[in-house]
């Protein structure tokens, strides 16, 4: 870990205490594991810190780990354009209560990413101003990228025009 | 008129069917329903190298009301199917449909929940063009096959008019299927 990232991680630990659950490093990529409730605050902290302001939210997406206790992971990629540093935030939520605070107020770029994660995985981003489906029809009842969704879909769940 | 000058004082006997079919098949105006990668190949069919106008079919119309044949070039999702049907319904009779490429014909490699496994599930298809994507030559082959088919048609072949349906007042459009708007 570079000294800059190390300093950032330490600052995060100091600011969020036990809401930061851990730090992983893989080939120079640093991932901070956090409680879901802390995600929006961490995003704000990363954007506004003077050390290395992360001014670009590259992506927001969800992963279905299926058999783990906290089934859905939500991941964020932030990039500091000036410092050319990247940091990843990861949080996990339970299937029964897949709610994560929205970071759209901090990074408007996350608006669409959060809608996609909602559409495909059913993650509910609380505080999102416009959490609608982005790809599937609005009256579709499922979240198709979940691992228990059949590949060919659910018969009758999507309509075709009459021939 | 042109015919008189060709045939001088003479006259021409034919069947009205043959004359109409001849006229129809030689000026098919396509509606380029380009949805994904196959549409790139549809575009190159119009370039100088392949030159779709050799067949009298170069007048691509972006209005369905002015076109005779819809070339569906691309992957059709369930969401898009309603749009295609709506455009098809606006085309004047007689009208034909070419399913260009594996996706439009059968869903292609997208065997998945979101892709319609062949557009013939919601509109009648006259010619299927194989390939992923089909080369322009292959599309021309499809167009020539369609030309043969049109050449054999009769003015008495009544179009596949849908049965009269009650217009639903609770949604815009023609009341067919279910809109997502
Ligand atoms: S058939 Fe192949 S080239 Fe054509 S739309 Fe499908 S994937 Fe693209």
> Hey, how many other C-beta atoms are within 10 angstroms of the C-beta on A115?
20
**Residue B126: predicted pLDDT:** 92
Instruction: Count structural domains, chain B.
Output: 1
- Write the residue in A135, A151, A161 that is nearest to B81 by C-beta: A161
**Residue B153: predicted pLDDT:** 83
**Residue A146: predicted pLDDT:** 94
- φ, ψ of residue B18 to 5 degrees: the values are -65, -40
Task: Name the E strands within A102-145.
Answer: 124-126
Looking at chain A, the whole-number percentage of residues with pLDDT higher than 90 is 80
Residues at CB less than 6 angstroms from ligand 1: B 36-38, 74-75, 101-103, 108, 132-133
Going along chain A from its start, the domains and CATH numbers come out as 3-126 (3.30.460.80)
Could you read off the pLDDT of B101-124 as tens digits, one per residue? 999 999 999 999 999 999 999 999
Write out residues in chain B with pLDDT < 70, as ranges.
1-10, 158-181
The pTM for the full model equals 0.81
Chain B contacts in chain A segment 118-137 (CB below 8 A): 135-137
User: Domain for residue B3, yes or no?
Assistant: no
Domain holding B59, by residue range, is 28-151
> Distance between CA atoms of A103 and B52, rounded to whole angstroms?
51
Q: Which residues of B touch A150 (CB under 8 A)?
A: 113
Could you read off the pLDDT of A95-145 as tens digits, one per residue? 999 999 999 999 999 999 999 999 999 999 999 999 999 999 988 999 999
Could you read off the pLDDT of A31-60 as tens digits, one per residue? 999 999 999 999 999 999 988 999 999 999
Residue to substitute in B43, B99, B103, B134 for testing ligand 1 pocket (most ligand atoms within 8 angstroms of CB): B103
Which residues, 6 or more positions from B173, have their beta carbon under 8 angstroms from its beta carbon?
B86, B179
> Distance between CA atoms of A117 and A61, rounded to whole angstroms?
6
B110 and chain A in contact, CB less than 8 A: no
**Residue B11: predicted pLDDT:** 72
Q: Which residue bears the tokens 């990228």?
A: A145
A139 and chain B in contact, CB less than 8 A: yes
Q: Which residues of A touch B180 (CB under 8 A)?
A: 137-139
Dihedral sign (CA B42, B45, B48, B49)? positive
Which residues, 6 or more positions from A89, have their beta carbon under 8 angstroms from its beta carbon?
A31, A32, A34, A39, A42, A43, A46, A75, A76, A78
Q: Which residue bears the tokens 């001849």?
A: B22
Kindly determine whether residue A151 and residue B111, on different chains, have CB atoms separated by under 8 Å.
yes
| CATH number of the domain within which B94 lies | 3.40.50.12280
**Residue B14: predicted pLDDT:** 83
> Distance between CA atoms of B169 and A85, rounded to whole angstroms?
57
User: Domain for residue B20, yes or no?
Assistant: no
The gap between the terminal CA atoms of chain B, to the nearest Å, is: 51
Give the confidence band of A77 by pLDDT, cuts at 50, 70, 90.
Answer: very high
User: Domain for residue B76, yes or no?
Assistant: yes
């Amino acid at each position: 870990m570079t000294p800059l990232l190390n300093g950032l991680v330490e600052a995060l630990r100091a600011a969020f205490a036990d809401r930061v659950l851990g730090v992983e490093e893989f080939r120079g990529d640093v991932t901070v594991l956090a409680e879901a409730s802390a995600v929006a605050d961490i995003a704000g902290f990363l954007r506004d810190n003077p050390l290395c302001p992360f001014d670009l939210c590259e992506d927001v997406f969800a992963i279905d780990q299926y058999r783990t206790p906290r089934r859905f992971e939500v991941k964020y990629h932030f990039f500091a354009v000036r410092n050319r540093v990247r940091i990843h935030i990861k949080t996990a939520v339970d299937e029964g209560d897949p709610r994560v605070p929205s970071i759209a107020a901090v990074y408007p770029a996350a608006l669409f990413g959060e809608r996609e994660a909602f559409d495909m995985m059913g993650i509910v981003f609380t505080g999102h101003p416009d959490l609608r489906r982005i790809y599937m029809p609005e009256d579709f009842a499922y979240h198709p990228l979940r691992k228990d969704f059949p590949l060919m879909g659910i018969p009758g769940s999507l309509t075709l025009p009459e021939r | 008129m042109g015919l008189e000058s060709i045939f001088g004082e003479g006259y021409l006997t034919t069947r009205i069917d043959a004359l109409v079919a001849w006229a129809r098949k030689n000026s098919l105006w396509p509606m380029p329903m380009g949805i994904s990668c196959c549409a790139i190949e549809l575009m190159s069919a119009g370039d100088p190298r392949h030159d779709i106008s050799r067949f009298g079919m170069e007048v691509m119309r972006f209005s369905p009301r002015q076109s005779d044949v819809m070339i569906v070039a691309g992957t059709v999702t369930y969401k898009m199917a309603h749009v295609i049907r709506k455009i098809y319904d606006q085309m004047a009779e007689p009208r034909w449909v070419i399913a260009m490429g594996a996706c439009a014909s059968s869903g292609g490699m997208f065997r998945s929940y979101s892709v319609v496994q062949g557009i013939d599930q919601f509109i009648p298809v006259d010619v299927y063009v194989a390939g992923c994507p089909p080369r322009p030559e292959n599309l021309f082959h499809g167009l020539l096959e369609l030309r043969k088919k049109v050449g054999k048609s009769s003015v008495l072949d009544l179009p596949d008019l849908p049965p009269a349906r009650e217009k639903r007042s609770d949604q815009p459009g023609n009341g067919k299927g279910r809109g997502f708007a």
